[in-house]
Amino acid sequence: MIVLKFGGTSVGTVDNIKKVAAIVSSMNESKIVVLSAMSGVTNTLQNISNLLSEGNISEASSVINTLNIKYLDVVNDLYNKDESIKKATAFLRLHNGLLQSLVSDDHTSKIQRIILAQGEIVSTNLFQLYLNEIGESSELISALDFMIIDQNNEPDNDYIKDHLKRILAKYPSTRTFITQGFICKNRKDEIDNLERGGSDYTASIIGAAIASSQIQIWTDIDGMHNNDPRFVDRTFSIEEISFDEAAELAYFGAKILHPQSIIPAKENNIPVLLKNTFKPEAKGTLIYNNARVEKIRAVAAKDNITAIKIKSYRMLLAYGFLKKIFEVFDQNQTPIDMITTSEVAVSLTIDNISQLEKIIQELEGFGSIEVDNDLSIICIAGNIAQNKKGVTAAIFNCLVDIPIRMISYGGSNYNLSFLVKSQDKVAVLNLLNEGLFIPLASQKKSVMV
């Protein structure tokens, strides 16, 4: 059995829903199809919930009506048969009634989570009716019946495995199951979610629970690219990449895959294939444990980085200094991304600056503090730090004219990152592309230094 996940854009319009249905029905294997909400819908639901917390009840109700009109337009265009239109309209009437019934002054977090869950409930119901109309039989299983998170908001894998298996066993001849991404129940049996963008995570958790042979994530680009196509012209999609490298890239902004979603797939050794709904013939990117080794696989960047330097002669030959500094970040619940040290100074980077003022105040007790902002981390992923001669030289040879603020190398075998001013980011990405990737791509070889 395989798992196929389609994101918001893939189910965002009538044409796209038809494309997804064509992909699903062309696959012979038995499968679980995980769907996101139609693009923009979860944002709209979040907006409704925000309006309710502000007490703006009439506006919330009117946004619900606008959403309903959007859904009704989809229904009118998507289905040909009267029977499907009738069923879909009846479903939407109930659904709209439910949302309107949640409009009140008494807006709690529990109600907010019920509202946020509705996008996936609608997309899966409308999709199943469409599959039905084109003669493709399927079973819609509710994620709320098996996707459970524990008190730490982590999936309860044993529960999920057990319940999902039992549900699937009820339909021994069914080859296509449909379920919702993102939504789940919590330990209190309330509707909850896996956080924004969590549908990839759902797919990976399900893949692990049923030991699927592959997890396919269908989006609107053809796999991971070797560089950021928004800023660099000649990028290409990567055919294969290891989980370790993909994890480095996902964290640094290669937004194609939710970072958390790599974990269950990696731990259970299930290959993840990234595919393009709008170009199903393209190979996409396969992420798996035994990907062919490459010295340099891809480059990604992360913006809005702040660097903090703590300089103190008390650090010289002392121990316990770093611990005290880390404690400040820990107590202020601020993750540190990159860190470099010298004998008398530590530089580190953060991207969440909500506690910055407090952090600086507390650090001032340890030495002099300098803060730089508008920085970008550039991450290079590949088999970089494993006795590979010349890799670092090749990278920095491309960057002779670029001032570099910090370098982090050797933390993992799969990553070299450095910090530059954000105004230099586009130049850096292009220089690395020209210096490291283009010469070899044009030789029709995979990327090597």
By the criterion CB under 5 A, which residues form the site for Mg ion? 7-8, 36
Does 277 participate in binding ligand ASP (rule CB under 6 A)? no
Does 180 participate in binding ligand ASP (rule CB under 6 A)? no
Using CB under 6 A, which of 84, 87, 112, 181 touches ligand ASP? 181
The HSE-up count of residue 344 (CA atoms within 13 Å, CB side) is: 6
Hey, which residues between 24 and 43 contact ligand ASP (CB under 6 A)? 36-37, 42
From residue 385 to residue 424, the character string flagging contacts with ligand ASP as x (rule: CB under 6 A) and all else as - is ----------------------------------------
Cβ-based nearer residue to Mg ion, 123 or 349: 123
Q: Is 349 helix (H, G, I), strand (E, B) or coil?
A: strand
Residue 119: contacted member of Mg ion, ligand ASP, none (CB under 5 to 8 Å, by partner type): ligand ASP
Cβ-based nearer residue to ligand ASP, 196 or 279: 196
Number of other CB atoms surrounding residue 279 within 10 Å: 13
Cβ-based nearer residue to Mg ion, 217 or 348: 217
Task: Render the burial of 209-239: b for 16+ CB within 10 Å, e for the rest.
Answer: bbebebbbbbbbbbbbbbbbeeebeebbbbe
Cβ-based nearer residue to Mg ion, 120 or 424: 120
Using an 8 Å Cβ cutoff, are 432 and 235 in contact? no
Separation of alpha carbons 79 and 85, rounded Å: 6
Question: What is the chain's alpha carbon radius of gyration, rounded to the nearest angstrom?
Answer: 24
# residues contacting ligand ASP (CB under 6 A): 12
Query: Which span (51-59, 197-205, 403-411, 429-437) binds ligand ASP, by CB under 6 A?
Result: 197-205
Separation of alpha carbons 259 and 58, rounded Å: 38
Cβ-based nearer residue to ligand ASP, 126 or 359: 126
- Locate 149 and state its tokens: 């998170």
Backbone angles phi, psi at 46, to 5 degrees: -65, -40
We find the least distance from the C-beta atom of residue 391 to ligand ASP, in angstroms, to be: 35
Does 6 participate in binding ligand ASP (rule CB under 6 A)? no
Hey, which residues between 73 and 112 contact ligand ASP (CB under 6 A)? none
Nearest to 245, CA basis, from 228, 267, 262, 222: 262
Cβ-based nearer residue to Mg ion, 199 or 235: 199
Using CB under 6 A, which of 2, 4, 6, 8 touches ligand ASP? 8
Using CB under 6 A, which of 71, 182, 218, 329 touches ligand ASP? 182
- Locate 330 and state its tokens: 């820990």
Interacting residues of 174 by C-beta distance below 8 A, sequence separation 6+:
30, 137, 138, 139, 168
Residue ranges binding ligand ASP (CB under 6 A): 7-8, 36-37, 42, 119, 181-182, 196-199
